[in-house]
Structure 1
């Protein structure tokens, strides 16, 4: 079967490598970013002056002395690596792509949207204040994560279920 819009199968190990490296580091950053051994710091001029006033009062990266802003982008880099890894793993072509795999992929995507919507509704009802921003940040990973987990789970379990079903029929 000719599938469109899937990445080559050779990319799948790259996606797994990205996930294996970035997920533990990303979790480490969530738990204790002060003890994280790597950083990616950039500095650039801040054109709005060196005074913290108005909308810029809560900008912690602003250096008062020379009017520059310093950003540590390691958490953004880890988030991008997790998203890229999930996308590659989820949407890389399998060695054998047939109608059954396409159906499993479609059902997994549907479950991911249902699951994400359920998590989002529960969080809207139960989480308030500034914690809601963190929930929204984590929510951007939920659809891809549910899709990858369900699709690969079905790839592992579906052959065993079909064999069991055939034994019952016979």
Structure 2
């Protein structure tokens, strides 16, 4: 059985250790109490790609590619949360056999189906910043749906001794 895409089991704990504070900071920033996040110590020059003018009319003079100083705190937190969810979802179990691999595959397909249904519903019924926020959540939800479905199926099968 080839599981070279899986990380060692210890990464699950590391992932939870990183994800929980990141998720708290994301929620706090969404609630608008993020004055202490807006520091210049995480602000540096970055490459801006894709200025179309109608999204940011105050920057119409810039070309498609340009450099500018940006506060990168939220980007760093989102990337840390995303990578930590990857570590949680794709860490090996203590016993990794064909049964676990089969459950992992079924859970991943289920999570993709559910996430696709959510995406279609969001696209049809949500607009503006609500839509953008829900798209951002769907980026995280695929890993969470997969991981919790996998754990549920694993627990249910072990209880019923279907291994």
Q: Please, what TM-score do these two structures have when normalized by structure 2?
A: 0.77
- Matched residue pairs, number? 150
Alpha-carbon contact 2:37-2:73 (below 8 Å) kept: no
Gaps of 5+ in 2: 48-52, 60-66
Q: Give matches, 1:34-73, under 5 Å.
A: 34-37=34-37, 39=39, 40-44=41-45, 56-58=56-58, 69-73=68-72
Deviation at 1:42, TM superposition (A): 1.7
What does 1:16-165 align with in structure 2 at a 5 Å threshold? 16-37=16-37, 39=39, 40-44=41-45, 56-58=56-58, 69-160=68-159, 162-163=160-161
CA contact (8 A) 2:38 2:71 kept: no
Q: CA-to-partner distance for each residue in 1:89-131, whole Å, 9 max, x for gaps?
A: 1111111001221111011101110111010011111012343
Q: Which has the larger radius of gyration?
A: 1
For residues 45 and 87 of structure 1, do their structure 2 counterparts lie closer, same or farther at Cα, with a shift above 3 Å needed? Answer: closer
List runs of 5+ in structure 1 lacking aligned partners. 47-53, 60-67, 166-170
RMSD, aligned CA: 2.9
Displacement after TM superposition at 1:4 (Å): 2.8
